[in-house]
Amino acid sequence: MVEPGRRGRVVALLANYCWVQLDQPGPDDISRLLCTRRTRLGKSGQTICVGDWVQVDGIDWAAGRAAVAAVEPRSLVLDRPPVANLSTVVVVVALAEPALEPLQLTRFLITAERSGARVELVFSKADLLPHAAVEQWLQRAAAWGYQPLAVSTAAGAGLDALRQRLSRPGLAVLCGPSGVGKSSLINALIPDLGLRVAAVSGRLQRGRHTTRHVELFPLATDALLADTPGFNRPVLPQQPAELIACFPELQARLRQTSCQFSDCQHQGEPGCAVGSNWDRQALYSQCLQDLLAQQGRQAGGARVEAAGLKQRGDRLEPRLDPRYRQLSRRGRRQQAAAEFNLPDPED
């Protein structure tokens, strides 16, 4: 009998193979298959990313092997780490060591909101602050529209609550500044992190020694966590409207009363429905200024280029017409080859 294809999720990548976690376990409860990629996937230029939903076929249950036949269209994709179809970004910031900076936290929240995934907020190192101070931060962030958790890997506090929060079906990635305890948290959430699934034997062994990629670990049925933290440098959106969409408390106000100006930047102008009596107003304004400055720099760069100039350090220099640019050695060889009707020496 020909085994029909099955659906699963890529949970780890090796050089030319990947591990696929099946939607439904097969005979003998086999739930993971080591899969090759069909060449036609490679030729169509389609890449496989951790988190991808794939169809596998040619299943050999006894050997635990199969081949990826097709990759389903992705919903969300994160660049760093490269993860597809993520459902949750967990922003982690420390309550102390390093001290919590509301502007930095806001920038991370914006970056997380921009991904389109659900955003969870975790305050780490709760053991370093008195209980009342921790409570204050929790309440403050709750007013922003989040349901933050305070955790401490050192004291083992809040980890069950976080695990539970991340046990909903989906794929979660932790993000935040370095030094806040993300790796410690990942290790606490995935105790058997040392037992990597990528352990393969025989001829495939070579695959192990190539670049380490992201690996997804199960926290509960259908709930996965990436084993490496994501972005640790926040990025602002390009447009004010995108920024506005990244503040849940602003969104909540706009749902209640819409602003009388269609292109309002909600900086507390008279007639603005949002007003200025909200906690993160100053942080929002700061981010907006930074965004506009970034826009200005980009527009400036485009103007410089349009004028046929290029920026070199502080100076503007004329951009050289390509015809007058000195040919590279390879270019000269090719030109000579063409002139004398010779084959390209590089071919």
What does the binding site for ligand GDP look like in residue numbers (CB under 6 A)?
Answer: 124-125, 127-128, 152-154, 178-184, 229
Q: Residue 259 binds which one of Zn ion, ligand GDP, none, with CB within 5 to 8 A depending on kind?
A: Zn ion
Instruction: Indicate the residue among 76 and 272 with the shorter CB distance to Zn ion.
Output: 272
Q: What element of type H or E holds 149?
A: strand 149-150
How far from chain centre, in Å, is Cα 147? 21
CA distance 71 to 303: 41
CA distance 231 to 114: 12
Which one among 274, 283, 287, 291 touches Zn ion, defined by CB under 5 A? 274
Q: Residue 124 binds which one of ligand GDP, Zn ion, none, with CB within 5 to 8 A depending on kind?
A: ligand GDP
CA distance 37 to 18: 8
Instruction: Indicate the residue among 125 and 266 with the shorter CB distance to ligand GDP.
Output: 125
Which one among 69, 154, 204, 264 touches Zn ion, defined by CB under 5 A? 264
CA distance 341 to 347: 14
Minimum CB distance to Zn ion, residue 246 (Å): 16
Q: What element of type H or E holds 129?
A: none
Minimum CB distance to ligand GDP, residue 106 (Å): 18
Instruction: Indicate the residue among 9 and 182 with the shorter CB distance to ligand GDP.
Output: 182
Q: Residue 111 binds which one of ligand GDP, Zn ion, none, with CB within 5 to 8 A depending on kind?
A: none
Cis amide linkage into residue 240, ω under 30° from 0: no
Minimum CB distance to ligand GDP, residue 228 (Å): 9
Minimum CB distance to ligand GDP, residue 27 (Å): 40
Minimum CB distance to Zn ion, residue 269 (Å): 7
Instruction: Indicate the residue among 22 and 272 with the shorter CB distance to Zn ion.
Output: 272
134: amino acid identity, one letter: V
Count CB-CB contacts under 10 A for residue 54.
23
Q: Residue 264 binds which one of ligand GDP, Zn ion, none, with CB within 5 to 8 A depending on kind?
A: Zn ion
Cis amide linkage into residue 81, ω under 30° from 0: yes
Stretch that binds Zn ion, among 170-178, 265-273, 287-295, 316-324 (CB under 5 A): 265-273
Q: Quick one: tokens of 241?
A: 């409207």
Strand-strand pairing, 65-71 and 149-150: unpaired
8-state DSSP, 320: P
Instruction: Indicate the residue among 148 and 229 with the shorter CB distance to ligand GDP.
Output: 229
- The answer to whether 51 and 10 are in contact (CB under 8 A) is yes
76: amino acid identity, one letter: L
CA distance 216 to 50: 8
Which one among 259, 283, 287, 291 touches Zn ion, defined by CB under 5 A? 259
Which one among 94, 266, 283, 284 touches Zn ion, defined by CB under 5 A? 266
Which residues contribute to the site for Zn ion (CB under 5 A)? 259, 264, 266, 272, 274
